[in-house]
Chains A and B, each alone.
Chain A
Amino acid sequence: MELNDELLCAYLDGELDETARTQLTRALETDAGGRVRLERMRVADARLRREMPPQSRPASDPIADFIRRHEAGAAVAMPARRRWIVPGAIAAAAATITFAVLFSSRGVPPVDSYAEGALQAALETRPGGVAGGAPVAIVMTLRTRDGTLCRLFESRTGTAAEGLACRDEAGWKIVAWDATVFRGEGYKTAGASPMLDAAMDRLGAEPLDAAAERAALEGGWKSGAR
C-alpha cells in the first residue's frame, strides 16, 4: 500500500473504512517516513484546534441581540455594517436618524486637519445611523485598538465623500476621506472605500453598539482602553 498524503489525511479524519484502516496501519509499521508525516500532520491539527478557539465576543454581541429580537417578532434592523452597504429595506427599517444641518460647500477638510462648523457639530453631538440624503450623516462610531473614539461619516455637500475622524484633545481630526464612494446622484456604491478600510484596519477600529456609542457621546468622547 502506497502511503500518500490523501490516504494519511483520510486516516486522521476517520474517513477510511475498516479494511483500508487496517491496511494503512500495517503499511505504517514498515514505513518510517509515513509515520513521521502522519505525526507532523497530527501535531499541526492539534495546534490549529488549540490555537484557534471559537471567537466569542466578550461583551455585548449585536448580532446575537439581533437574532433574539428577530425571534421575538420585533421589526428590527441590524447594526450598520462597517463596509458593505446596508440593503435598502434594512436601512429603511432602521431607526435611521436623518438630520439636516447647514454645511459649508467646501466639503470635507483635508486629512490631519480638524473638523469645523457643521461637520464638527455633527461629529460631536449626533448619534449614528444610516442617514440617506442628509448633508452630514454619522454612519457609525468606532473604537480603535488604543481606545481612541472615531466616527465614520458621510458628507454630501461640496464634494460628497465618506470620511473617518478620530477624537483627540483638540477635537475631531480627519484621518481619511474618500470621494470615490459616491457616484452620480450621490448614491453610494456598494462596497465602501478601500482607503477607509485600510485606515480602519490600521487603527484596529471596531464598531460600537448603540449603547456604547451613547455612553461615549454622553461621556464627552473620552478615550479609554477597551
Chain B
Amino acid sequence: MSSFGRELVDLLPRARRFAWVLTRSRADAEDVVQAAIERALRGASGWKPGTRLDSWLFRIMQNVWRDELRAHRRRAEPLEAAALLPGSDGRETNMRHLETQEAAAALAELPEEQRAVIALVVIEGLSYQETADVLDIPVGTVMSRLARARARLAATLGDDPQRVRAAK
C-alpha cells in the first residue's frame, strides 16, 4: 500500500472523532467519513505531498457534511437537542465511547461553527491558519469563534465537577 493509503487508514480514528463533533450522531459520522474517503481516493491528486494530509481530509469532511445538510435541507439540530446526554430523553446518538463523557456533551451543545473550530484547534492541534483553510473562513473568524466557544466550555468544564455544582 502506498504511504498515502497507509496514512489515510491511520487517520480514520481521528476522522471519526472529527465527524462526530460535526454531526453529533454516530451514524452520520460514519457516513461522513465514508463519503469523504471516497472523495479523497477519487481526488488523491488534489493532495500535495509534503502538506498535511489530516487538514486535507478534514476539509473534505467539512464539505461533505455541508453538502449533506444542503442537499437534504437538514439543519444541525437546535441547541436544545443537546439532550444528547444519555438518559435525558432516552436517545443516545453519541458515539459509544463519547456517550458518557461530560466534555463531549458540553461540546455538543455549542453551535456547529464553534464545535468545528474547537475540534480542529484544541483537539486536533491545527494552527489558526490551518483551521481557517479547512473551514474556508478568515483567521479572524477562527479567533472570534474560538473565543466564544472557549468561554462557554470554560464555564461548564473549567472547574472540577463538585465545585461547578456547588456554584450553581
Contacts and interface: CB of A to CB of B under 8 A. Distances in A.
Interface of A: 4-6, 8-10, 13, 15, 37, 39-41, 43-45, 47-57, 61, 63-64, 66-68, 70-72, 78-79, 81-84, 87, 90, 145, 190-191, 197, 200-202, 204, 206-207
Contact of A44 (B13, B28, B153): B153
B38 A37 contact: no
Contacts of A10: 128, 143
A79 B31 CA distance: 10
Interface in B90-124: 90-93, 95-98, 101-104, 106-107, 118, 121-123
A182 to B, nearest CB: 16
Contacts, number: 158
Given A55-B17, A201-B27, A201-B91, A67 B5 contact: yes
A63 B34 contact: yes
A201 B33 CA distance: 18
A71 B157 contact: no
B31 A52 contact: no
B61 interface: no
A79 B34 CA distance: 9
A contact face: mostly helix, strand, loop, or mixed: helix
B153 A63 contact: no
**Range, interface on chain B:** 35 or more
A66 B37 contact: yes
B87 to A, nearest CB: 14
Nearest to B126: A13
Given A9-B150, A52-B103, A54-B17, A78 B91 contact: no
Nearest to A49: B123
Given A44-B153, A83-B31, A191-B74, 5 more contacts: A66-B37, A67-B37, A81-B31, A191-B71, A201-B91
Contact of A5 (B71, B97, B147): B147
A38 to B, nearest CB: 9
Given A5-B150, A48-B157, A52-B101, A190 B34 contact: no
B5 to A, nearest CB: 4
Given A9-B147, A201-B91, A52 B35 contact: no
A54 B27 contact: no
A145 B90 CA distance: 13
B56 to A, nearest CB: 15
B63 interface: no
Given A55-B16, A61-B12, A67-B41, A82 B27 contact: yes
A56 B38 CA distance: 19
B136 interface: no
A171 B31 CA distance: 30
Contacts of B107: 48, 52
B151 interface: yes
B33 A84 contact: no
A87 B107 CA distance: 32
A48 B90 CA distance: 24
A71 B143 CA distance: 39
14 contacts: A9-B146, A40-B155, A52-B17, A52-B103, A53-B13, A68-B9, A71-B1, A82-B27, A82-B30, A83-B31, A84-B31, A191-B74, A201-B91, A207-B30
